[in-house]
Amino acid sequence: MSLAALALLILGLGLIAWVAARAKAMSFGSTGQARQHSLPNYHGWYVALWAVLPALFFLTIWSSVSGGLVTQTVLESPAAASLPAMEMQRDAILDEARRLAEGRIDAAFNPEAEALAPIYAEATSFYSLIGSSIALLLAFAAGAFAFTRLSPTFRARTRVERLVMASLLIASLIAILTTLGIVLSLLFESLRFFSMVSPVEFLFGLNWSPQMAIRADQAGSSGAFGAIPLFWGTIFIGAIIAMIVAIPLGLMSAIYLTQYASGRVRAWMKPALEMLAGVPTVVYGYFAALTVAPAIRDFAVTIGIPGASSESALAAGLVMGIMIIPFVSSMADDSIAAVPQAMRDGSLAMGATTSETIRRVLVPAALPGVVGGVLLAVSRAIGETMIVVMAAGLAANLTANPFQSVTTVTTQIVQLLTGDQEFDSAKTLAAFALGLVLFIITLLLNIVALRVVKKYREAYD
Amino acid sequence: MTNTTHAEPRRTPTNWNDQAMQERIRGRYASERRFRLLGLFAVLLSAGFLAFLLVTMAANGARGFTQTEVRVEVDFAKSALFIDPAALEGFGADAALAGADIDGAVQTAVRAQYGESADGLLSDAAWLRVRDAILEDPALLNRSETFWLPARSGLDQAAKSDGSAADEQIYRQLDDQDSVRTGFNLGFLTGADATDPTVVGIWGAFKGSLFTMLVTLALAFPIGVLSAIYLEEYAPRNRWTDLIEVSINNLAAVPSIIFGLLGLAVFLNFMHLPRSAPLVGGITLALMTMPVIVIAGRNAIKSVPPSIRDAALGVGASRVQVVFHHVLPLALPGILTGTIIGMARALGETAPLLMIGMRAFIASPPGGFTEPATVLPVQIFLWSDEVSRGFVEKTSAAIIVLLAFLLAMNGLAIYLRNKFERRW
């Protein structure tokens, strides 16, 4: 019996248990005994949960164990004695036999697999029979046990609610587990990387060329892991060029929409700006690579800038800046709106024009919030992947010329981890070290930004 | 008081009509106008970027939905094609057709019709359509039939007046003979990835996206809602709760590619789940979407007034009943809005899926959650890397499809918010 069918059957049993237990609980009322503690529904849920949960729990464990048991049985059969001792060949034959037994292929390439297939089918059906009968038995036994406990005074609701609370707690622990998983996996792989490459060389080296030598005598591929050019590229694109675009445009848009624009203009333009944040980054990347980058290269060639590349830092930074505009503008919007009305009124009453009020009173008062927003935007920009993968280059240049090609941390992570992977080479592990650096920096930026914003809010509340 | 003011020299009242004053006021008003125009300029520039982006995509992409077809008359009875019609019944059909040289037969027919120079008229995959037709109706093999087959990419470009001069000339010749037409490309919506831009489709990637999103929704929605309920309604104020809150807020700000690294290290290398599968992609994206749902859910639950809870408690509901019978239904519209926005973000996400190998070339739509698949944004990324000219319009067309879905989802979220939002 297939796993899904079995699970459905158990759920069906649960439904029957629910109906039966509920009917039994209903009958308590008619016998004129003492007042029941719980509503009939809760009795139903109590029994149904007992019938379903242990059985499903068993099934999950069984499905992960049974594969190994089947293989074990097949290997112990006399027909398997002739299998090659090499593990890889043996596994390939076993895999073929399994697919043959499941009817997914018609004929096997290896004659051994042909012979093993019936044994495989037999073992599979044997173990699945054992698994299904234990699961069903468990469902029946647990359901019956719960059913016998029902009585008018039985506190079914308390027990069901205890389970609900437990599931709530477990659900909220998943966030911690995810964070832990990120930190541990990055740390673990990075430590392996740092056992091959010294952290000092990684953090302060000026030369990045992660190709490891395949042969000892190969020239020009010593594998240098100095990440400074990547850090510079990331900052150049994400924190400098993108911000030069995003800060003025985002700030001025927020000021115009909150202070000058009429209600109708705001109602249309604000969602339009927010749409910029909703466009997938791969679309921005395509736009940058297809439209912006060639235009910028042609422009650079016309004004005679040497070394203009079609994968220029400017193209990626410009498009990333456009993507960031709504982040800056919505943070600026919030913090300008949080400036007390009295301050604006005071300034206007003194005879200042609107723009003077904005420049001399509102923006200085909102500055911490704006700075916090910019920091969040920077953290967003340096973690952004697709735009730089598609529009920035792969050459690890240490240059301040925006028309040249630079590479970023995220680009290199993608580059290192696509293609053939071997999890013991420094090349692959370097991606995790880069990921760790990226994680720490974005985390710090976020903490600082939130602290700045929070401190500022307290000042006016 | 009065004495002291009188003792000082009296200030001359401001002369507003003074020349210098007038100039200063004019200057201040001019700067006010400049500032205002600057703001307007910033808004229009930002919106202009959006419009430019959309127009570029639409202009490139609209052509991706059409394709050029050439009329080819294949006389199966006379062709060198030999297929036993009996072999086409049942399971052996694919093998029987694979063995026959249908491509050659089509080429012969094209040459007979348009001359020896017409070798490169059709797309490399054009014969597949003939094969499918035969498979559908084996009786074709005994007669002659007229097919409209996809033209070569260059010719397709020429038909859209964007090809080379030579192709344009061929196209005009064909057009004069009425043996070429440009129509809606149904194959683009029903096909999967291919090496030839004239026959690619997005159905495969779309199906992959669908499977991935199903996994994401099935995991992120319950977990997100349950954690939101726990944190907002039950959690005691202690160090553990603070830890949970801090990690949720941080997860919401972690770059998406880090989730890809997590998926690669934990799900693929540690747990040995299948590579490139919607299952793994869905779990990875669920971890990314969950914090968004938790934050939206907490805000929605927070906005339900305490009086509701007090009233329910007052008539004897238990604390679990209060939340599940009263608070949750009232908070549901807000939670759903947040969920849809989070799902829209997950649908457009590319980077983490590249990490877990969903960038493979998948020529047939995935059949299940554990089969290799790709998703729409990754498909766009893969096509954007292709050098062939024909892929540009296909990439833009796929972007239009993706944007349409995102727009629909966001529109739905706004509609839900406006319809069900309650001010207490």
| pLDDT tens by residue, B219-257 | 999 999 999 999 999 988 888 888 888 889 889 889 999
- Indicate left, alpha or beta for A287 from its phi (over 0: left) and psi (-120 to 50: alpha): alpha
Closest-CA residue of chain A to B228 = A172
Q: Is residue B147 part of a domain?
A: yes
Q: Which of B57, B262, B319 sits opposite A182 (nearest CB)?
A: B262
Q: Which of A260, A358, A386 sits opposite B350 (nearest CB)?
A: A386
Q: What is the ipTM of this complex?
A: 0.86
A314 close to A403: Cβ distance less than 8 angstroms:
yes
Token digits of residue B118: 């017409």
Residue B406 is part of which domain span?
Answer: 203-420
Average pLDDT, chain A: 85
Q: At what angle do helices A313-337 and B19-62 cross, to 10 degrees?
A: 120
Total H helices, total E strands in chain A: 18, 2
For residue A421, what pLDDT is reported? 60
More confident residue, B392 or A184: A184
Q: Per mean pLDDT, which range of A65-69, B41-45, B315-319 is the poorest?
A: A65-69
CATH number at residue B255: 1.10.3720.10
| A282 shares contact with chain B (CB less than 8 Å) | yes
| A353 shares contact with chain B (CB less than 8 Å) | yes
Closest-CA residue of chain B to A386 = B351
Q: Which amino acid is at A238?
A: G
CB contact under 8 A, A439 and B254: yes
CB contact under 8 A, A290 and B384: yes
Q: Taking the domains of chain A in order of start, what are their residue ranges?
A: 3-154, 209-460
Q: Which of A252, A284, A291 sits opposite B39 (nearest CB)?
A: A252
How far off is chain A from B279, nearest CA to CA, in Å? 16
- Class of residue B3 by CB neighbours under 10 A (exposed 0-12, middle 13-18, buried 19+): exposed
Q: Is residue B342 part of a domain?
A: yes
For residue B96, what pLDDT is reported? 66
How far off is chain A from B126, nearest CA to CA, in Å? 29
Per-position DSSP letters for A99-144, written without gaps between them: HHHTTS-SS-SSHHHHHHHHHHHHHHHHHHHHHHHHHHHHHHHHHH
More confident residue, A47 or A456: A47
Is a pLDDT exceeding 80 seen at residue B179? no
Residue A161 with chain B: CB contacts under 8 Å: 318-320
CB contact under 8 A, B227 and A261: no
For residue A307, what pLDDT is reported? 72
Whether residue B336 sits in one domain with residue B207: yes
Distance (Å, whole) CA A413 – CA A311: 18
Task: Give contacts of A 431-460 with B, CB under 8 A.
Answer: 431-432, 435, 438-439, 442-443, 446, 450
Is a pLDDT exceeding 60 seen at residue A214? no
Token digits of residue B423: 């001010």
For residue A69, what pLDDT is reported? 82
Closest-CA residue of chain B to A189 = B265
The phi and psi torsions of A223 (rounded to 5 degrees) equal: 80, 80
How far off is chain A from B94, nearest CA to CA, in Å? 14
Closest-CA residue of chain B to A248 = B42
For residue A86, what pLDDT is reported? 67
Is a pLDDT exceeding 80 seen at residue B136? no
Average pLDDT of B160-164? 72
A403 close to A309: Cβ distance less than 8 angstroms:
yes
For residue B49, what pLDDT is reported? 92
- Class of residue B334 by CB neighbours under 10 A (exposed 0-12, middle 13-18, buried 19+): buried
CATH class name, domain A209-460: mainly alpha
| Optimal mutation site among A168, A191, A410, interface B, most CBs of chain B within 10 A | A168
Per-residue pLDDT tens digits for B123-132: 777 777 777 7
CB contact under 8 A, B56 and A287: yes
Q: Which of B271, B124, B304, B298 is nearest to B196 (CA)?
A: B124
Distance (Å, whole) CA A121 – CA A317: 59
Per-residue pLDDT tens digits for A177-209: 999 999 999 999 899 989 888 888 888 888 888
Per-residue pLDDT tens digits for A278-295: 899 999 999 998 889 989
Residue B230 with chain A: CB contacts under 8 Å: 168-169, 171-172
Closest-CA residue of chain B to A354 = B32
Is a pLDDT exceeding 60 seen at residue A220? no
3-state percent breakdown (helix, strand, coil) of chain B, nearest 5: 70, 5, 25
Closest-CA residue of chain A to B271 = A64
Is a pLDDT exceeding 80 seen at residue A361? yes
CB contact under 8 A, A178 and B229: no
Distance (Å, whole) CA B67 – CA B83: 30
For residue A32, what pLDDT is reported? 58
CB contact under 8 A, B42 and A249: yes
Whether residue B414 sits in one domain with residue B290: yes
How far off is chain B from A423, nearest CA to CA, in Å? 9
For residue B367, what pLDDT is reported? 81
Per-position DSSP letters for B184-252, written without gaps between them: E-HHHHH----SSTTT--SHHHHHHHHHHHHHHHHHHHHHHHHHHHIIIII--SSHHHHHHHHHHHHHT
For residue A2, what pLDDT is reported? 74
Q: Which of A272, A386, A410 sits opposite B50 (nearest CB)?
A: A272
A290 close to B61: Cβ distance less than 8 angstroms:
no
Distance (Å, whole) CA B197 – CA A460: 60
Residue B294 with chain A: CB contacts under 8 Å: 175
Q: Which of A250, A252, A282 sits opposite B377 (nearest CB)?
A: A282
Q: Which of A269, A410, A417 sits opposite B43 (nearest CB)?
A: A269
Distance (Å, whole) CA A301 – CA A419: 34
| A286 shares contact with chain B (CB less than 8 Å) | yes
Closest-CA residue of chain A to B289 = A175
Token digits of residue B110: 């094209």
CB contact under 8 A, A414 and B35: no
- Please name the residues in contact with A424: beta carbons below 8 A apart, sequence gap of 6 or more: A192
Per-residue pLDDT tens digits for A378-389: 999 999 999 999
Residue A182 with chain B: CB contacts under 8 Å: 254, 258-259, 261-262
More confident residue, A104 or B366: B366
B191 close to B201: Cβ distance less than 8 angstroms:
yes
A263 close to A312: Cβ distance less than 8 angstroms:
no
Distance (Å, whole) CA A439 – CA B296: 24
Q: Is residue B27 part of a domain?
A: no
Whether residue B243 sits in one domain with residue B162: no
Whether residue B284 sits in one domain with residue B221: yes
For residue A275, what pLDDT is reported? 84
CB contact under 8 A, A286 and B395: yes
More confident residue, B269 or A82: B269
How far off is chain A from B321, nearest CA to CA, in Å? 9
| A289 shares contact with chain B (CB less than 8 Å) | yes
Average pLDDT of A167-172? 92
Average pLDDT of B94-123? 72
pLDDT class of B81 with cuts at 50, 70, 90: low
Token digits of residue B120: 């490169």
Q: Which of B261, B380, B410 sits opposite A286 (nearest CB)?
A: B380
CA B61 vs CA A116, B54, B56, B395: distances in Å: 53, 10, 8, 7
Q: Is residue B62 part of a domain?
A: no
Task: Give contacts of A 74-103 with B, CB under 8 A.
Answer: none
Closest-CA residue of chain B to A172 = B227
Whether residue B372 sits in one domain with residue B316: yes
How far off is chain A from B29, nearest CA to CA, in Å? 8
More confident residue, A110 or B202: B202
Per-position DSSP letters for A147-212, written without gaps between them: HHH--TT--HHHHHHHHHHHHHHHHHHHHHHHHHHHHHHHHHHHHHHHTTS-HHHHHH-S-EE-PP
- Best-predicted range by mean pLDDT among A334-343, B61-70, B308-317? B308-317
**H-only helix segments in A31-110:** 40-76, 87-101
CB contact under 8 A, B247 and A178: yes
Q: Is residue B198 part of a domain?
A: no
Q: Is residue B175 part of a domain?
A: yes
Q: Is residue B38 part of a domain?
A: no
CB contact under 8 A, B354 and A418: yes
Strand partners, A246: none
Whether residue B145 sits in one domain with residue B234: no
Q: At what angle do helices B278-302 and A156-194 cross, to 10 degrees?
A: 120
Give the whole-number percent of chain A exceeding pLDDT 90: 36
| A298 shares contact with chain B (CB less than 8 Å) | no
Average pLDDT of A56-60? 90
CB contact under 8 A, A280 and B39: no
Distance (Å, whole) CA A198 – CA A433: 11
pLDDT class of A461 with cuts at 50, 70, 90: low
CB contact under 8 A, A181 and B41: no
Average pLDDT of A35-50? 86
Whether residue B212 sits in one domain with residue B296: yes
Closest-CA residue of chain B to A444 = B250
Residue A356 with chain B: CB contacts under 8 Å: 28, 32
Token digits of residue B64: 């991706």
Q: Is residue B35 part of a domain?
A: no
For residue B87, what pLDDT is reported? 64
Distance (Å, whole) CA A19 – CA A300: 76
For residue B294, what pLDDT is reported? 94
Average pLDDT, chain B: 84
For residue B1, what pLDDT is reported? 44
How far off is chain A from B210, nearest CA to CA, in Å? 17
Q: Per mean pLDDT, which range of A84-98, B171-185, B291-305 is the poorest?
A: A84-98
How far off is chain B from A78, nearest CA to CA, in Å? 30
Distance (Å, whole) CA B328 – CA B226: 10
More confident residue, A329 or A101: A329
Average pLDDT of A219-239? 81
pLDDT class of B90 with cuts at 50, 70, 90: low
Domain boundary among B126, B153, B183: B183
Total tally of structural domains belonging to chain B: 2
Per-residue pLDDT tens digits for A406-457: 899 999 999 888 766 666 677 888 899 999 999 999 999 988 988 887 777 6
Task: Give contacts of A 361-390 with B, CB under 8 A.
Answer: 376, 379-380, 382-386, 389-390
- Count interface pairs A-B at CB distance under 8 A: 243
Residue B271 with chain A: CB contacts under 8 Å: none
For residue B76, what pLDDT is reported? 74
